[in-house]
Chains A and B, each alone.
Chain A
Amino acid sequence: MRTRRLLLWRAPWIAALCLALALIGPGLAGTAAAGEKLVVWWNKGYYPEEDAAMQKIAKDFEAKNKVEVDLSFTAQEDLLKKITAALIARRVPDVAFCFFNDWQVVPKYGWNDQLADVSDLIKELRPRYNEKMLEVAYVMNNKTKKRAYYGIPIEAQTMHIHYWRDMLREVGMEDDPAKIPMKWDDYWGYWKKAQDALRKKDSAKYGKLYGIGMTMSTRASDTLYNFDMALLSFNGELLDKNGKVIADQPKNREAIIKTLKWFGELFTSGYVPPDATNWSDGDNNAGFHSKSIVMTPNPSQSIPASQFFNKDDPQKTNYFDNMATIEWPDGPDGKKARYLSAVKTVIIPKDSKNQKLAKEFVRFVVEPARFLEYVKAANGRWYPAFTDVAKDPFWRAGHKGPKGQKDPHVPVATMIYQDRDNKAFEHWKHPANSQVYDENIWGKAMARIAIDKWAPEKAADEAIERMKTIFAGYK
């Protein structure tokens, strides 16, 4: 009886002790391991080869430095939320690489003084960098009131247009990329003509086919590329070199109106799928792969890269023979297209306890031979931010087809990066511009015209006003 009573009054203490150990234990374990473990959050690759290449790099780093690398892969949409939550809660990884870092993390959290200043690392790597891609990480810190490098750019994507050559051949239209008309109206008219011809030829098969897979949705970041590329074609600018809003200047307002009017007319013309205003980033890819659209503008080479790995097409006929990548057309003024690149960037949070080791890890990742292996594993989806890596013959030649065919995709992207007027997206100029992109205000303006039937002037003015309001919020 006495033993039972003794046990009874000890039980709460035992329960409390167990609870305390359960709560504190993991923390103690974490403390013991701190300094020996590098936590790396990496964007899950589109292809298993990318992840395998990064795992190999992490293993090599562990072996060389006698440390543990806790490497985890997360899909881009989820990783952005994970990084955002970590930075807000100040429980951060040591290194984080997300495809959305460049426009949704670096400008905002650099401004908030929550990212490590990596200017020393950038200075060391500078001779290797493509200078145009470097500025994306040179953002303002609102605490120090100075710009510095708060990220390490590693690879980029830019605008390409893909189309089905075999569909054009089917209706006797010229399918050679060199022979597609590149003048603004002729270019867009060409895909409209293809839609008409295909629907006429076989209405049962192509009755619901559309010529132009233009994403115009607030859900998709592709919309930003489409708008900004078209705005450049119409010679419009949103910010000056210091990050001040100049969208309301008459010349730029006019260019914005023309751009929005063009998108509105394109949508209502019946040559863009009606659901394009509701597409997410993958929907134009899906529409293209299922051949329900003839062409689509798409940032990055994800569409051809996906066809390259298509298991149902072992001869890679789609990649080498049935589809092609071409440039954005010349502007309405006849000038060659100017391009925008989104430069994907690694960050080291300021709250990381292992900043030195984190920098060492990034330095290790971007060593030329190692980084070439990694970036090539993405099958040309990304273009390296380092000139020495970009000198590899792969970027100019691409893959060789099983019948000796030339690569119709990777060299086109390389030509855009190396031979065309190309600049980084301008979110780095001001963190408010990052919010402009987040809110997708230009996608909203497109919807105002296409769905709500607003006049382009009214939609443009609403968007410009919203842009100015957002910028005014950053003091």
Chain B
Amino acid sequence: MTTRLLHNRTFHGFMFSAPLLVLFGAFVIYPMGFGIYYALDRDSYRALFGDPTFRQTVWNTVWYVGVAVNVKLFLALLLSGILDYPYRWIRILSALFLIPWAIPALPGILSFRWMLNSQWGIFNHLLTKFGLSSVPWLAQHDTALGAIMVFHIWKYLPFWTIIFLAGRRAIPNELYEAAAIDGAQPVQNFRFVTFPLLRNLYLICTLLSMVFTLGDFTVPWLLAGGAPGDSTHVLATLAYRYTFHMGRLEWGMATFAVALPVTLFFIFLLLRWVKI
């Protein structure tokens, strides 16, 4: 029996993949199980929904994901059209355009914070130069949340633009030639050729970006840290605050669990779309 088992190819395959399975179990299954165990505590949800900061956070997350992702992808779609022109200077521009995405998030965010400082930041300096009053960008809810969205768009726009650019370049040139024979102008080219062929890619990118942005911690935390008055938290930063500032792991897990159905729905749509 043992000898047969030792010569069984399936068993060999299993043994060779065992390290990966062990790692998968240790770093994916176990933490998920642990998280679900903690997230099942009903008292946590009572506490969460009784916390005014949580309610505000849910709205912030909806705004953040809804606005930042859609504005970013719409701009990326338009910009990819510009970067698709076959000029030399466009290639140089494309390289420069990638810089925000290539630099690490931390120095970018810290620089942005300094630029938004109400006392000596460049934005207020320019405003006052033109005779306008300075704005406490990070010290009021709307502008602070807006700043988070703007930074997110600035940082991740190049990545999605490149994706759309690749999508555009995959469209056969013959279609544009045929459209030209029919007398199509650039806007009609975009409306009747480019966009219909990019539509699936656009939707997949939107879903992917929504999943990424829903769990985004770095930008909201480092730029505003929840301030002013804990009014700019998103679910990821609030879960972190509950877990590590307040030692309430179960609340942190429950916060993530609240977002889980939405994330799973997006993933489900995504999988359906790409037919995996």
Residue numbers of A with Cβ under 8 A of B are 8-9, 11-13, 15-16, 19, 23, 80-81, 84-85, 87-88, 104-105, 108-109, 208, 210, 217-219, 273-280, 287, 292, 435, 438-440, 443-444, 446-448, 450-452, 462, 466, 469, 473
Contacts and interface: CB of A to CB of B under 8 A. Distances in A.
Contacts of B228: 217-218, 277-278, 447, 450-451
Given A9-B7, A278-B139, A451-B139, A108 B19 contact: no
A51 B187 CA distance: 67
23 contacts: A9-B7, A16-B18, A19-B19, A23-B22, A80-B244, A88-B247, A208-B120, A218-B227, A218-B229, A219-B227, A274-B139, A275-B118, A275-B139, A277-B229, A278-B138, A278-B144, A278-B225, A292-B120, A439-B53, A448-B229, A451-B139, A466-B52, A469-B50
Given A108-B247, A451-B140, A19 B18 contact: yes
Interface in B16-56: 16, 18-19, 22, 47, 50, 52-53
Interface of B: 6-7, 11-12, 15-16, 18-19, 22, 47, 50, 52-53, 117-120, 134, 136, 138-141, 144, 224-231, 243-247, 249
A277 B227 contact: yes
B28 to A, nearest CB: 16
Contacts, number: 113
A8 B141 CA distance: 64
Contacts of A276: 139
Contacts of B16: 11-12, 15
A280 B225 CA distance: 9
Nearest to B26: A23
Contacts of B245: 80, 104, 438
Given A104-B247, A280-B225, A451-B139, A444 B15 contact: no
Contact of A275 (B138, B244, B249): B138
Nearest to A462: B52
Given A274-B139, A275-B138, A447 B231 contact: yes
A273 B119 contact: yes
B39 to A, nearest CB: 14
Nearest to A100: B245
Most chain B CB atoms below 10 A, which of A274, A280, A452: A274
Contacts of B226: 218-219
Nearest to A444: B229
B245 to A, nearest CB: 6
A208 B122 CA distance: 13
Contacts of B52: 462, 466
A217 B138 CA distance: 11
Nearest to A105: B247
B246 A275 contact: no
A19 B22 contact: yes
A93 to B, nearest CB: 16
Given A277-B139, A466-B52, A15 B19 contact: yes
B18 A451 contact: no
B244 A81 contact: yes
A13 B22 CA distance: 15
A15 B18 contact: yes
Contacts of A440: 230
Contacts of A15: 15-16, 18-19
Contacts of A108: 247
Given A274-B139, A466-B52, A218 B47 contact: no
A374 to B, nearest CB: 28
A218 B15 contact: no
Given A16-B15, A108-B247, A444 B118 contact: no
A219 B225 contact: yes
Contacts of A13: 15
A274 B7 CA distance: 74
**6 closest cross-chain pairs (CB), A and B:** A447-B229, A12-B15, A274-B136, A277-B228, A278-B227, A438-B246
A9 B138 CA distance: 64
Contacts of A11: 16
Contact of B119 (A80, A208, A452): A208
A435 B15 contact: no
A10 B224 CA distance: 56
